[in-house]
């Protein structure tokens, strides 16, 4: 059994493969990657993940702020993405980690 997940969110106009920063810092975008495949998870990108016999799975994502054109300013970095799924219900147990 598998589940297919799709990440969606608002794109950074200057670098459409990254998500927009809605915080106060300028010239910064947000990159999201799948840890297992090191694949960039840009808007609309999908992953198919196996589900074990206990009907559980995990998806490790990492994000970082990038400054594609330089000149980043100080301030906050805020981003929002949605995780859409097909095939099974997903319960998110941990969204943020250090």
Q: Is the pLDDT of residue 87 over 80?
A: no
Could you write out the DSSP letters of every residue in 56-89? -----EEEEEE-TTS---SS-----EEEEEESS-
Question: Could you tell me which of 3, 20, 13, 4 has the C-alpha nearest to residue 63?
Answer: 20
Encode pLDDT of 41-77 as tens digits: 888 888 888 888 887 788 888 889 999 888 999 999 9
- What percent of the chain is predicted at pLDDT more than 70? 87
Q: Please report the domains of the chain, with CATH numbers, ordered by start residue.
A: 2-86 (2.60.40.1090)
Q: What value does the mean pLDDT take over residues 16-39? A: 90
Residue 84 has pLDDT above 90, yes or no: no
């Amino acid at each position: 059994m598998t589940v297919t997940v799709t990440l969606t969110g608002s794109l950074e106009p200057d670098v459409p493969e990254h998500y927009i920063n809605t915080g106060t810092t300028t010239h910064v975008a947000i990159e999201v990657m799948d840890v297992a495949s090191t694949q960039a998870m840009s808007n609309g990108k999908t992953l198919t993940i196996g589900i074990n016999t206990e009907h559980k799975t995990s998806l490790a994502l990492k994000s970082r702020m990038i400054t594609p054109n330089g000149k980043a300013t100080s301030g906050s970095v805020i981003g929002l993405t949605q995780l859409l799924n097909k095939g099974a219900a997903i319960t998110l147990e941990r969204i943020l980690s250090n």
